[in-house]
Chains A and B, each alone.
Chain A
Amino acid sequence: MSAALQLDHVVKHFPGPRRGTRVHAVNDVSFSVAQGETVALVGESGSGKTTLGRLALQLERVTTGRVLLQGRDITQLSQSSLRTLRPHMQMVFQDPWATLNPRMRIRSVLEEPLKLHSSLSAAERQSRIVGMADRVHLGGGLLDRFPAQLSGGQLQRVALARALMTQPRLVVLDEPTSSLDLSVRAEILELLSELRAQSQVSYLFITHDLGTVRLIADRIVVLYLGGIVESGPTAKIFDQPRHPYTRALFSAQLSTDVRARRERVILQGEIPSPVDLPRGCSFAGRCPAADDRCRNERPELVTESAVQIACFKPGVALATG
Chain B
Amino acid sequence: MSVHAQVWHLRVIALARASPTGAVGLAIMLGFALVALLAPLIAPYDPVKPFTDHVLVEPDARFLLGTDGNGMDVLSRTLHGARYAYGIAIPVLLFGFLIGVPIGLYAGFRGGWFDEITLRVMDALRVFPSIILALAIVSATGQSLANVVLVIGMLDVPVFARLVRAEVLALRSSGFVEAAINAGNPTWRIVLVHLFPNCIRGAMAQMPIRMAWAVRVSATLAFIGVGIQAPTPEWGAMIRQGAEYMVSGEWWVAIVPGFALVILIIGFSMFGDGLEELLDPRRNTSSR
Chain A residues with a Cβ under 8 A of chain B: 57, 59, 83-84, 86-87, 90-91, 93, 95, 98-104, 112-113, 116-117, 149, 162
Contacts and interface: CB of A to CB of B under 8 A. Distances in A.
Top 10 A-B pairs, shortest CB-CB distance: A86-B184, A98-B175, A99-B179, A103-B197, A98-B174, A99-B176, A99-B175, A83-B184, A116-B184, A91-B182
A101 B186 contact: no
Nearest to A159: B179
- Please tell me the size bucket of the interface on B: 10 to 19
A298 to B, nearest CB: 34
B181 A59 contact: yes
A55 to B, nearest CB: 13
B185 interface: yes
Contacts, number: 49
A171 B270 CA distance: 51
Contacts of B184: 83-84, 86-87, 113, 116-117
B175 A93 contact: yes
Interface string B170-209: 0000111011111111100100011001100000000000
Interface of B: 174-176, 178-186, 189, 193-194, 197-198, 288
Contact of A102 (B186, B189, B198): B198
Given A90-B183, A116-B189, 18 more contacts: A86-B184, A87-B184, A90-B182, A93-B178, A93-B179, A98-B174, A99-B178, A99-B179, A100-B179, A101-B197, A101-B198, A102-B198, A103-B198, A113-B183, A116-B183, A116-B185, A117-B184, A149-B288
Given A103-B197, A103-B198, A98 B183 contact: no
Contacts of B182: 57, 59, 86, 90-91
Contacts of B178: 59, 93, 99
A100 B176 contact: yes
13 contacts: A57-B182, A83-B186, A87-B184, A90-B183, A100-B176, A101-B176, A101-B194, A102-B198, A112-B185, A113-B183, A113-B184, A116-B184, A149-B288
Contacts of B197: 101, 103
B170 to A, nearest CB: 11
A95 B181 contact: no
Contacts of B174: 98
B190 to A, nearest CB: 10
A149 B186 CA distance: 28
A91 to B, nearest CB: 5
